[in-house]
């Protein structure tokens, strides 16, 4: 069986890794690379405080956080390090700090099914500053020791290396051919489309309208000298801003959520300056950074903000995943694992009917 994966972001790279683990030999990955959300992403794995009413989304996010334990373990067994993932905990902030108690109670109620969240505690700023000096802008926060930070680019690089498959760096299209598909002049029996916000571009020529829109995200990386940030917890203020410390004195700040920029990948000084000003209120040390750089990616969103995955109705042996949005780093690896399980006929962990492609992919009239 010859399999193609189009897209080497978090879904595509994880799918490649597990196809290799399940002894699939003939797999080729195609990746254009431009605008990929995962490469521009630094994220927090901490879904337990979400108040989204969509229970099926929360189940996926909860199990997605748990799945990282398997992913990291599998990679280590195979001889690869998983430095892209580290459980340093989280400081969760609220503008109205009276709301922290109800959030604490919500997390306690969820802890029995999500022991990964670890120790929960409402901390005051003096306690916080013992572990993360120079934080400011709040009096109390909610702490959870099991929350993790993830470096998207490093995650993908590790998984692709562990898969050992060829990665073809070119933009491709998809054509139905007999019982399979033609990509870049090659025939494939099965195809996984993991192209995020670019899914309409590949499926429209095959007669499908896709409920996916692009969202631009911009992030700033700050680099410090003599700042031991290796074990610092992540900081999640209310709103879009996150502060994510990484090893070797790097702090990621972001990311923006811009719905009206299409697929634009140019940095916008106004947006980046706003992110910096918001971050300075919580971490004035940003002024001491020796340098900074920017990352820009395009997220994929559906109209109801829910991800979807599975086989494309009407196109046998074609599998897709998209709509992961800002929770992509949390749910992406699990979705990829589910896609591989579906493709190979293995047991799945989620009820895929809740995330069906039929809710987001529609045949264009006249092209049925």
Asked if 141 and 122 touch (Cβ cutoff 8 Å), the reply is: yes
Each residue of 14-61: pLDDT tens digit? Answer: 999 999 999 999 999 999 987 677 667 888 999 999 988 889 999 999
pLDDT at position 54:
86
206/41 Cα distance (integer angstroms) = 30
Non-local (6+) Cβ contacts of 339 within 8 A are 11, 15, 192, 309, 310, 319, 321
309/11 Cα distance (integer angstroms) = 10
186/168 Cα distance (integer angstroms) = 12
| Three-state secondary structure call for residue 69 | helix
Beta-strand relationship, 186-188 and 180-183? antiparallel
| Three-state secondary structure call for residue 41 | coil
What is the maximum span of the chain, computed from C-alpha positions, in angstroms?
Answer: 67
Q: Which of 315, 366, 318 is nearest to 339 (CA)?
A: 318
Each residue of 102-118: pLDDT tens digit? Answer: 999 999 999 999 999 99
pLDDT at position 34:
76
Q: Which of 93, 51, 45, 95 is nearest to 71 (CA)?
A: 45
pLDDT at position 366:
64
- Mean pLDDT, residues 345-362 taken together: 95
Q: In what order do the strands lie in the sheet with 250-254?
A: 120-124, 140-144, 90-92, 234-236, 242-246, 250-254, 213-223, 291-301
Each residue of 290-337: pLDDT tens digit? Answer: 999 999 999 999 999 999 999 999 999 999 999 999 999 999 999 999
Each residue of 296-307: pLDDT tens digit? Answer: 999 999 999 999
254/268 Cα distance (integer angstroms) = 13
142/282 Cα distance (integer angstroms) = 15
Confidence (pTM): 0.96
Phi and psi for 236 in degrees, rounded to 5?
-125, 90
Q: What percent of the chain has a predicted confidence (pLDDT) above 70?
A: 98
Q: Is 258 left (phi over 0), alpha (psi -120 to 50) or beta?
A: beta
- Mean pLDDT, residues 228-246 taken together: 94
Whether 78 has a pLDDT exceeding 80, the answer reads yes
318/324 Cα distance (integer angstroms) = 19
Residue with tokens 């699939």: 24
Asked if 206 and 282 touch (Cβ cutoff 8 Å), the reply is: no
Mean pLDDT estimate for the chain: 95
pLDDT at position 306:
95
Q: Could you say which DSSP state residue 202 is in?
A: H
Each residue of 122-173: pLDDT tens digit? Answer: 999 999 999 999 999 999 999 999 999 999 999 999 999 999 999 999 999 9
- Mean pLDDT, residues 265-283 taken together: 96
128/225 Cα distance (integer angstroms) = 22
């Amino acid at each position: 069986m010859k399999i193609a994966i189009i897209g080497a972001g978090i879904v595509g790279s994880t799918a490649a890794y597990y196809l290799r683990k399940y002894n699939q030999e003939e797999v080729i990955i195609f990746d254009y690379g431009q605008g990929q959300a995962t490469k521009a992403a630094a994220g927090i794995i901490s879904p337990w405080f979400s108040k989204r009413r969509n229970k099926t989304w929360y189940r996926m996010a909860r199990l997605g956080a748990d799945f990282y334990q398997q992913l990291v373990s599998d990679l280590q067994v195979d001889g690869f390090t998983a430095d892209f993932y580290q459980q340093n905990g989280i400081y969760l902030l609220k503008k109205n700090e009276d709301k922290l108690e109800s959030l604490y109670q919500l997390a306690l109620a969820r802890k029995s099914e999500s022991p990964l969240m670890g120790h929960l505690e409402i901390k005051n700023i003096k306690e916080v500053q013992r572990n993360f000096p120079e934080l400011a802008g709040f009096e109390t926060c909610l702490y959870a020791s099991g929350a993790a930070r993830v470096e998207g680019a490093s995650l993908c690089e590790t998984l692709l290396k562990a898969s050992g498959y060829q990665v073809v760096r070119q933009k491709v299209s998809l054509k139905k051919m007999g019982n399979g598909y033609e990509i870049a002049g090659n025939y494939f029996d099965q195809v996984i489309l993991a192209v995020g916000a670019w899914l309409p571009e590949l499926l429209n020529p095959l007669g499908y309208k896709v409920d996916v829109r692009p969202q631009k995200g911009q992030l700033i990386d700050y680099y410090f000298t003599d700042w031991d940030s290796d074990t610092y917890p992540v900081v999640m203020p209310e709103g879009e801003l996150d502060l994510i410390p990484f090893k070797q004195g790097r702090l990621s700040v972001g990311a923006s959520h811009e719905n009206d920029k299409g697929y634009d990948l140019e940095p916008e000084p106004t947006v980046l300056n706003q992110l910096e000003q918001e971050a300075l209120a919580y971490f004035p040390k940003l002024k001491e950074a020796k340098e900074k750089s920017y990352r820009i990616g395009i997220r994929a969103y559906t109209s109801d903000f829910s991800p979807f995955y599975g086989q494309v109705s009407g196109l046998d042996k074609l599998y897709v995943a998209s709509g992961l949005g800002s929770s992509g780093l949390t749910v992406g690896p699990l979705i990829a694992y589910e896609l591989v399980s579906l493709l190979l006929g293995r047991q799945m962990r989620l009820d895929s009917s809740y995330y069906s492609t039929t809710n987001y992919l529609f045949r264009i009239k006249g092209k049925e």
